[in-house]
Amino acid sequence: MEDKAIVVKNLKKYFKDVKAVDDISFEVGYGQLFALLGQNGAGKSTTIRILTNLAVPTSGYVEVAGYNVLKNPTEVRKNIGLVAEKVILYNDLTAMENIKFFGRLYGMKDPEIYDRAEKFLKLFDIWDFKDMLISKMSTGMKQKINLARALVPDPKIIFLDEPTLGLDPVSTKHIRDFIVQLREEGRTIVYTTHVLHDVELMNVDKVAIMRKGKIVAMGTLNEIRKHFKKAEIVEIETDRTLSFNDPKIKILEQEDGYAKVEVEDLNQFMSYLTKANIKVRSFKSLEPSLEDIYVEISEGKLDAEIETVKE
């Protein structure tokens, strides 16, 4: 398992009758960006807490950075950075004092802490506020300091639980671009979010969707889209108005040679066009969005057909 940054096997976390995490398994390779999605209460944060030594599992096996989280918690903590759902900062300290405090916990010297803090605070455009008390900062500023605090020790594996929460669109883009940069540098990132558009823009390596403590779908974005696609949606421009009597072909929109069509058999649809001598000027197949799939899974609409997508 040396090539795996995270290994989770049959993980369970029960609180009396509540199955917060219910027998999940997954692996994350070094250098991968792994997105964990799900509604509040799905089990995402509980999973992150177990992986970062903040909670003890009921049963199962968890390995992070090559170390068993129960047997070698100190070694695990040396290799990880965490931006939790709640900001981990002291309000009566300044931004720089907070970063120095946490950096020293990792055994870092002040000059090294200062240099790395300067890098991240300038990147997040808040260097001028390094001496401001946390208590006087906005939610967005606190979240940026929180992210810098987690990155200063230079961790191999970074856990980001809703890192763009409370940030404006410009800051969100900066964080999103920075996460992609971290992945390109070889960092391993576990990322939870409700902003599914971000997941698609960052082109994550793997997605896991949780519902009621279970992973109900997992794979690459393309694998998940392909698995849950019920029909093909195509946008097409032709030399005439389209009309079909086949119930497997539904015209969703049509105007001035443009049409959006839902088809169950794309080859059959193309055959119809050829036989009718319809000239096709442009053609585009539309994939279902991750948001569409996520909403249907979260609302239980896909229960009858859910199977975990294989890697």
Could you tell me the two tokens for 97?
A: 């004092």
Residue 14 pLDDT: 95
Q: What mean pLDDT is predicted for residues 176-188?
A: 88
More confident site: 161 or 127: 127
156 and 188 in contact (C-beta within 8 Å)?
A: yes
State residue 290's pLDDT score.
75
189, 34 Cβ separation under 8 angstroms: yes
pLDDT band at 300 (very low <50, low <70, confident <90, very high): low
d(CA 129, CA 194): 29
pLDDT at 288: 67
| Secondary structure of residue 191 in the 3-state scheme | strand
Q: Mind listing the domains of the chain with CATH numbers?
A: 4-226 (3.40.50.300), 230-286 (3.30.70)
Cβ-Cβ contacts under 8 Å for 309 (sequence gap 6 or more): 217, 218, 219, 223, 224, 227
Token representation of residue 294 = 């996520």
Strand, coil or helix: what is 24?
strand
> What does pTM read for this prediction?
0.78
pLDDT tens string 76-117 = 999 999 988 788 899 999 999 999 999 999 899 999 999 999
Helix (H, G, I), strand (E, B) or coil at 247: coil
pLDDT value for 69: 96
